Amino acid sequence: MARSIAAVRRTLFMVTLTTLIAAVSAPPDRAFAQQCSAIDYPNDTFQGGFTQGWGKQYGRSVDIDGTVAVVGGAGHAGVYELRDNRWVFVQNLLPPDNLLSSLGFSVSVSGSTIAIGDPSLDSGTGAVWIFERTSGVWMRQPMLQPSTSSYPRRRGSRFGFAVDLSGDRLLVGAPGYDDQQSTIGYAFLFERSGGTWNEKAQMIPSTSHLNRLTPTGFGYSVGIDGELAAIGMPFDLGQG
């Protein structure tokens, strides 16, 4: 009897060990995908509306204004509305078909307007996509890029790395923008008039931070509210 019990114990140990080895040797992406597929996401969790999976980076950027929330991912963004105390997914915001895009890297919503940064577009030139809500549907508008002759589009600018909306004003960070003269890192101010967004001003670090031909990160983060703007510069002198 004792020998039978010992044999059973050895068998159970071998089964357990085999199971453990199989779990450890399984590809981590497959194991995680199986785990995710078993999770029951609540209806009011910012998760639905786009195919789940690796590389989606859903939630990398978020913003909210009143009863509208926007959640950015890698190449897409989702819009949610608060209805009866529950957040309900209403629409995916996407770039034009077949466009390799980082749309969703940064997002901002103000009233019936959403701005979405796409800093990797066109070899890092970057862009900002504008969506306007019309009859309950968010419609994509022409994208924004630097447009003046003094500050033309440049590859590697990362225009759209950060965005913020305040009514008819939009502030866009371009921490890689090199004016090839005195500084790297800009922010661009756009204003809307008659339904059209126009570039109104360019912002650079103060005089004491100019003539540094290494990235300072100016434009890495931005915020605007009425007449005031704040721009982050986290890499200047290694301290920010």
Mean pLDDT of 28-38: 32
pLDDT tens digits, 85-96: 999 999 999 888
Predicted TM-score (pTM) of this structure: 0.75
Residue 28, pLDDT above cutoff 50: no
Question: So what's the pLDDT on residue 149?
Answer: 75
Picking from 142, 141, 146, the residue whose alpha carbon sits closest to that of residue 190 is 146
Question: So what's the pLDDT on residue 154?
Answer: 84
What percent of the chain is predicted at pLDDT more than 70?
Answer: 69
Say if CB 119 and CB 128 are below 8 A apart.
no
pLDDT tens digits, 187-240: 999 999 999 999 999 998 775 555 555 667 889 999 999 999 999 988 776 555
Q: Cβ neighbours of residue 91 under 8 Å, at least 6 residues apart?
A: 49, 78, 79, 137, 138
Distances (CA, A) of 28 to 32, 55, 144, 178: 6, 14, 40, 40
Question: So what's the pLDDT on residue 181?
Answer: 67
Residue 81, pLDDT above cutoff 50: yes
Residue 1, pLDDT above cutoff 60: no
**Beta-bridge partner residues of 43:** none
Mean pLDDT of 174-178: 89
165 or 25, which is more confident?
Answer: 165
DSSP secondary structure string for all residues of 162-202: EEEEETTEEEEEEEEEE-SSSBEEEEEEEEEETTEEEEEEE
